[in-house]
Structure 1
Amino acid sequence: MPERPRVLELVRRHGWNATAFQTLESGYSYFFPGDDACVAYVDTGRAWVAAGAPLAAPERLVESVGAFTAAARERGRRCAFFGIEERMKVAASGELSSMPIGEQPVWNPQEWDDVLSRRRSLREQLRRGRAKGVRIRKVTAAELSGGPTQRAIGAASRQWLASRRMAPLQFLVKVEPFAFPAERACFVAEQAGRLVGFAGVVPVPAREGWFLEDLVRVPDAPQGTSELLVDAFMHWSGALGCRWVTLGLAPLAGPVPGALRFARRLSTSLYDFEGLRAFKAKLEPSGWQTIYLGYPVTQSAALSLVDGLAAFTDGGFLRFGARSLFGLDP
């Protein structure tokens, strides 16, 4: 069986981390420590950086971590697991050290109407968006596969990325809303027939949950567009009987190490870490889950952090910095 369909089957069986479905997007290599386990990773040239935890049954997590670590070492690479949750942190504590890198908010969509009843400011944002004529609809898999809606979503993605000071990031934050369209969901915000935003949603099968992976609006979208997209997602997932959804990692939020707090302050001109967390917090999640970088106990924490960050850059830190700060592409 070709690799990606094989990985899709493992995601369906073992996809417990929010990052699970993202491993089907472009740019990943796959390590299979057996017939029923997989680690999706990128090779930075110095390290293999895994996208979250192995796709494996809980009783095979530690075995998969050990096999991946050994294979990386044989090829002269360090390794790290970016974006693991408490379950793997505990299960693999004998193999991996860990450091917190942010927090992930989670909701029970069955309680979303209760959130709306308590949050007057959120209701007001929804009213503003509707008053401006913004309407939300769920698109079909066929629309994601080709045609005018797919082209409009692609154009909105490009506008959104062009409006950001930071150069586009790779790895777990790439915007790829069209991979395996039959497996995902997508909501679009339209105003007078023009697409002004979209929400790309992917499954978290082992939790019977969903991850709102991409929340994108064009620069001139009316106020309330993002909130209307989230509202549609919450009501849709609630109607399915779902009790676990997330909007993904708020990076560098929560009890991160001092070096990461310093990095958060230093990079505020490029990325609004505080603003992202504040947006997610105003949606009143039912909880915040700490997300970690895991790395072998014999490996340097500082080097592991550098390796994890390198996975997000395209062509290394120097090129990424030049593109972000000066618009150059050396």
Structure 2
Amino acid sequence: MTRSSSTGVAQTRSVAEPTLDVLTRHAHNPSAYLALNEGNLTFEVDGIDGVVIYRPSGRFLIQFGGVFAPPDQQAELLTEFVRWARQNRRRVISVQLMPEDTDIYLRAGFGVNQLGASYARSLDGFSMSGKHFVKIRNKISRANRDGVRVREVAAVRERTPQLMEALNEVDWVWLKAKGFGVAEIDFMIGQRGGWAERRRRLFVAEHAGRLVGYQVFSPVFGRHSGWLHDLSRRIPDAPTGVSELILSTAVRQFVGEKTPYLHFGLTPFTSLDPKHRLPGHSPFVDRFVRWLGTRAEWIYPAQSQVAYKLKWQPDLIQPEYVAFQDGVSLSAVWRLMRVTKAVSLRRGRKSVTRRPASPHE
């Protein structure tokens, strides 16, 4: 516990149930639930109904998703967090900021650049009829003819050790198929397990008595509430159309529940547009992010990721930002790449992975 600020006592601790309560009240970021990942920490100040969620990395604190607090308390909580970071000789990098978050960061002296965009689809009146969805419907029909069956594992008690072992096997086979040196992103996507598991929804696909794929959906709070299509895994020899069948089954369920939105989350380095530039942005970061999106599929498969999301005709596309305390530096950019596992360290040497394994690939 760290003493002192003008507001009272500042404290840090692991994410827990009270953190979820704050997100439920104040979060509008579609990826906010991912802040509950194990390994993240919270920063809180007495007298402020809010939380900052972060992960230490080297000389930096990587903050996730903005300041979750009432609008009139966000700037104060950010000020206290930055002050606390300085006292501990750390600098702050904030990722996945929404457009409405950026003003307080600019006023706090951060350099803010677009990182990419998040994609969502309104489910009000959603239908998969029409020629745009012909290819998806054909894949779904193929999976059905091949005998693939999809079900929701609705109760946590149904997530038995045997099922968890089967899911782990899918993860292992999926990651192995990506090739040597590929690291799985674990900061800006969700997890399975942990105390936050009970609020996630799990859909599994089975074929010939074997689990061949699954998808996890996390709750989205705020003005565009719904479900976030988070983890998506399938084994390489799964029948054609398994992923499409799982997602369409989930969507049908969500539509029946009158869910407002299905979110596909952030795809870094995509939908970059000069109109989203903010005062004081870094031209270097702009050029680097654009290069990553167009010339560096071997680092992150941005184009294939966004192509998957565009197949579902998203009608809500929002820019997302990254902010660097005291402006950008090469060390800060490097640290951000390390945390997102776009680069990794192996056997004591610096090396670039072939690319990170991303959630929908």
Question: Could you tell me which residue of structure 2 aligns to residue 170 of structure 1?
Answer: 186
SS of 1:278 mapped into structure 2: helix
The aligned runs of 1:134-213 (5 Å cut-off) are 134-143=148-157, 145-165=159-179, 166-173=182-189, 175-176=191-192, 179-207=195-223, 208-213=225-230
The answer for the alignment partner of 2:7 in structure 1 is: none
1:40 pairs with 2:74: no
**What is the alpha-carbon distance in structure 1 between the residues aligned to residue 270 and residue 350 of structure 2?**
22
Question: Is the Cα–Cα contact under 8 Å of residues 252 and 261 in structure 1 kept in the other structure?
Answer: yes
The residue type paired with residue 242 of structure 1 is T
8 A Cα contact 1:106 1:245, kept in partner:
yes
- Quote the Cα distance in structure 1 between the aligned partners of 2:198 and 2:233: 20
Whole-angstrom distance in 2 between the partners of 1:144 and 1:206: 29
- Tell me which residue corresponds to 1:7: 19
1:285 aligns with 2:346: no
Decide whether aligned partners of structure 1 residues 294 and 70 sit closer, same or farther in structure 2, where only a CA change above 3 A counts: same
Contact kept in structure 2, 1:247 and 1:280, CA below 8 Å: yes
What does the per-residue CA deviation read over 1:248-305, in whole Å, with 9 as the maximum and x for residues that have no partner? 1112112172212223455323542211111111111113211110233x32255443
Asked whether the 8 Å contact 2:111–2:328 carries over to 1, the reply is no
Match of 2:335 among 303, 307, 310: 307
Query: Are residues 177 and 190 of structure 1, via their aligned partners in 2, closer, same or farther at CA, if it must alter by over 3 Å?
Result: farther
The structure in which a higher percent of residues are helix is 1
Whole-angstrom CA distance in 1 between matches of 2:323 and 2:352: 29
**CA 1:206/1:101 → structure 2, altered by over 3 Å: closer, same or farther?**
same
Q: Is the 8 A contact 2:266 2:320 kept in 1?
A: yes
Q: Work out the CA distance in 2 between the residues paired with 1:234 and 1:189.
A: 15
Counterparts in 2 of 1:1-330, with a 5 A limit? 3-34=15-46, 35-95=48-108, 96-113=110-127, 118-143=132-157, 145-165=159-179, 166-173=182-189, 175-176=191-192, 179-207=195-223, 208-255=225-272, 257-265=286-294, 267-296=296-325, 298-300=326-328, 302-313=330-341, 317-319=344-346, 322=351, 324=353
Alpha-carbon distance in 1 for matches of 2:330, 2:207: 47
Displacement after TM superposition at 1:83 (Å)? 0.7
CA–CA separation in structure 1 for the residues paired with 2:299 and 2:114? 22
The alignment's C-alpha RMSD in Å is: 2.6
Q: TM-score if structure 2 supplies the norm length?
A: 0.81
Partner of 1:274, secondary structure, is helix
Where structure 2 has 5 or more consecutive residues not aligned to the other structure, the ranges are 1-12, 274-285, 356-361
Q: Percent identity among equivalent residues? A: 23
44-53 vs 19-28, which deviates more? 19-28
Displacement of 1:138 in angstroms is 0.7
